[in-house]
A and B are shown apart, each in its own frame.
Chain A
Amino acid sequence: MKKLALTLVLVVLAASLILAVDPAVALWAKWVKENYGGTTITIAAANHPSIEAMKKMTSDFEALTGIKVKWECMEEIHLHDKILLEFSSNTKRYDIIMLDVTWLGEFVSKNVVVPLDDYINSDKTPAFFDYEDIIPAYREGLGKFQGTIYGIPSAGESAFIAYNKEILDKYDISPSELNSYDSLLNVAQELASKKRLYGIAMRGRRGHHIVYSWLQFFYPFGARIFDENWNCLLDSPESIASLEYYVELMKTAPKGISSFSHEEATSAIMQGLVGLWFDATALAPWIEDSSRSIVAGKVGYLAPPAGPKGDYACVAGWNLALSEQSTKKDVAWQFIVYMLSRKMAPTYIANGGVVTRTSILDDPFYQNEFSYFPAVKESLDKAYNLIREGVDWRPRIPEWPQIGEIMGLEASLALSGKKTPEEACKDAKAEVEKLMKESGY
Chain B
Amino acid sequence: MKDIKYNKYKPWIYPTSIILLIITIIPTIFLFAISLFDYKLGTPLKSAKFIGISNYITTFASSSFWHSILITAKYMLLSVGIEMILGFMLAFFLYNRKKWLRNLLIIFMVIPMSVAPSIAGLMWRLNFHPIYGIVNQLLYYFNLGPDWYSYDMALFSVIIIDIWQWTPFVTLISLAGLLSIDTSVLESARIDGADGFKMIKNIIIPIIKPVLLVALIMRSMDSLKMFDVPFSLTEGGPGDATELLSMYIYRKGFFHTGSVGAASAVAVIMLVIIIFMTKLFAINLQKQ
Interface residues in B, total, Cβ within 8 A: 26
Q: Given A84-B41, A112-B42, A417-B151, is A256 in contact with B131 using a C-beta cutoff of 8 Å?
A: yes
Q: Which of B18-26, B86-94, B254-262 lies at the interface with chain A?
A: B254-262
Q: How far, in angstroms, from A238 to B239 measured CA to CA in the complex?
A: 22
Interface string of B213-247 (1 = CB under 8 A from A): 00000000000000000000011111111000000
With a 10 A CB-CB cut-off, give which of B41, B236, B238, B256 has the most chain A CB atoms.
B256
A418 at the interface (CB under 8 A from B): yes
With a 10 A CB-CB cut-off, give which of A87, A204, A412 has the most chain B CB atoms.
A412
Taking the closest CB of chain A, its distance from the CB of B214, in whole angstroms, is 36
Q: Given A256-B149, A258-B149, is A88 in contact with B236 using a C-beta cutoff of 8 Å?
A: no
Inside 8 A of B151's CB, which chain A residues have their CB?
Answer: 258, 416-418
Query: Does the CB pair B131–A81 fall under 8 Å?
Result: no
Q: Which of A80, A205, A404, A417 contacts B237 (CB 8 A)?
A: A205
Query: Does the CB pair A85–B251 fall under 8 Å?
Result: no
Query: Does the CB pair A259–B238 fall under 8 Å?
Result: yes
Taking the closest CB of chain A, its distance from the CB of B23, in whole angstroms, is 16
Q: Which of A85, A255, A416 contacts B239 (CB 8 A)?
A: A416
Q: List 24 A-B contacts (CB under 8 A).
A: A81-B254, A81-B255, A84-B258, A85-B41, A85-B254, A87-B42, A106-B42, A204-B238, A205-B235, A205-B238, A207-B237, A255-B130, A256-B130, A256-B131, A256-B147, A258-B147, A259-B149, A401-B257, A402-B256, A402-B257, A409-B239, A409-B240, A416-B239, A417-B151
Q: How far, in angstroms, from A259 to B257 measured CA to CA in the complex?
A: 20
Q: Which residues of chain A from 384 to 418 have any CB-CB distance to chain B below 8 Å in the complex?
A: 401-402, 404-405, 409, 412-413, 415-418
Taking the closest CB of chain B, its distance from the CB of A307, in whole angstroms, is 26
Q: Which residues of chain A from 45 to 82 have any CB-CB distance to chain B below 8 Å in the complex?
A: 77, 80-81
A208 at the interface (CB under 8 A from B): yes
Chain B interface (Cβ < 8 Å from any Cβ of A) = 41-43, 129-131, 145, 147-151, 234-241, 251, 254-258
Query: Does the CB pair B254–A405 fall under 8 Å?
Result: no
Inside 8 A of B237's CB, which chain A residues have their CB?
Answer: 205-207, 258-259, 412
Q: How far, in angstroms, from A208 to B255 measured CA to CA in the complex?
A: 10
With a 10 A CB-CB cut-off, give which of B130, B151, B237, B241 has the most chain A CB atoms.
B237
Q: Which of A77, A254, A402, A412 contacts B238 (CB 8 A)?
A: A412
Query: Does the CB pair B238–A258 fall under 8 Å?
Result: yes
A81's nearest neighbour on chain B, judged by CB, is B254
A292 at the interface (CB under 8 A from B): no
Query: Does the CB pair A110–B43 fall under 8 Å?
Result: yes
Q: How far, in angstroms, from A417 to B151 measured CA to CA in the complex?
A: 8
Query: Does the CB pair B42–A84 fall under 8 Å?
Result: yes
Inside 8 A of A287's CB, which chain B residues have their CB?
Answer: none
B241's nearest neighbour on chain A, judged by CB, is A416
- Summed over the interface, the residue pairs from A and B with CB atoms below 8 Å come to a total of 85
Query: Does the CB pair B240–A207 fall under 8 Å?
Result: no
Is chain B's interface secondary structure helix, strand, loop, or mixed overall?
Answer: loop
Q: How far, in angstroms, from A188 to B85 measured CA to CA in the complex?
A: 47
A412's nearest neighbour on chain B, judged by CB, is B239
A273 at the interface (CB under 8 A from B): yes
Inside 8 A of A401's CB, which chain B residues have their CB?
Answer: 256-258
Inside 8 A of A405's CB, which chain B residues have their CB?
Answer: 251, 255-257
Query: Does the CB pair A259–B234 fall under 8 Å?
Result: yes
Q: How far, in angstroms, from A259 to B157 measured CA to CA in the complex?
A: 13
Interface string of A316-356 (1 = CB under 8 A from B): 00000000000000000000000000000000000000000
A80's nearest neighbour on chain B, judged by CB, is B256
Inside 8 A of A255's CB, which chain B residues have their CB?
Answer: 130-131, 145, 147
Query: Does the CB pair B42–A207 fall under 8 Å?
Result: no
Q: How far, in angstroms, from A226 to B223 measured CA to CA in the complex?
A: 42
Taking the closest CB of chain B, its distance from the CB of A419, in whole angstroms, is 8
A413's nearest neighbour on chain B, judged by CB, is B239
Q: How far, in angstroms, from A10 to B147 measured CA to CA in the complex?
A: 66
With contacts A77-B255, A81-B255 known, what are 7 further pairs, Cβ within 8 A? Answer: A110-B43, A206-B235, A206-B238, A254-B130, A402-B257, A415-B239, A416-B238
Taking the closest CB of chain B, its distance from the CB of A50, in whole angstroms, is 22
Query: Does the CB pair B257–A88 fall under 8 Å?
Result: no
Inside 8 A of A77's CB, which chain B residues have their CB?
Answer: 235, 255-256
Q: How far, in angstroms, from A105 to B235 measured CA to CA in the complex?
A: 25
Inside 8 A of A85's CB, which chain B residues have their CB?
Answer: 41, 254
Taking the closest CB of chain B, its distance from the CB of A433, in whole angstroms, is 16
Q: How far, in angstroms, from A415 to B151 measured CA to CA in the complex?
A: 9
A255's nearest neighbour on chain B, judged by CB, is B130
Q: Which residues of chain A from 125 to 169 have any CB-CB distance to chain B below 8 Å in the complex?
A: none
Interface string of A171-211 (1 = CB under 8 A from B): 00000000000000000000000000000000011111000
Inside 8 A of A112's CB, which chain B residues have their CB?
Answer: 42
Q: How far, in angstroms, from A266 to B68 measured CA to CA in the complex?
A: 32
Q: How far, in angstroms, from A88 to B253 measured CA to CA in the complex?
A: 13
Q: How far, in angstroms, from A161 to B285 measured CA to CA in the complex?
A: 63
Inside 8 A of B234's CB, which chain A residues have their CB?
Answer: 259
Q: How far, in angstroms, from A359 to B75 measured CA to CA in the complex?
A: 56
Inside 8 A of B149's CB, which chain A residues have their CB?
Answer: 256, 258-259
Taking the closest CB of chain A, its distance from the CB of B41, in whole angstroms, is 5
A261's nearest neighbour on chain B, judged by CB, is B235
Query: Does the CB pair A256–B129 fall under 8 Å?
Result: yes
Taking the closest CB of chain B, its distance from the CB of A165, in whole angstroms, is 22
Query: Does the CB pair B147–A81 fall under 8 Å?
Result: no
Q: Which of B150, B235, B236, B258 contacts A416 (CB 8 A)?
A: B150
